Structure 1
Amino acid sequence: MLKIVQKNQNIFLLLAIISILVGVFAYVGDSEFGGSDGHAEEYITQADPDYKVWFSNIWEPPGPEIESLLFAVQAAIGAGVVCYVIGYYKGKKTGESIQE
Structure 2
Amino acid sequence: MSKTIEEMNAKQIHELTDWKESASKVFKNLDLQAIGKTLGIGLGEDVSTNVLPKIKELQEQNAELVRLLEELSKTTSGSRFLKIKHEAKELLTKYQKP
Shorter-chain TM range is 0.3 to 0.5
Flag the structure with larger Rg. Answer: 2
Which structure is higher in RCO with an 8 Å CA cutoff and minimum separation 6? 1
Say which structure is richer in helix: 2
Taking structure 2 as the reference length, the TM-score comes to 0.35
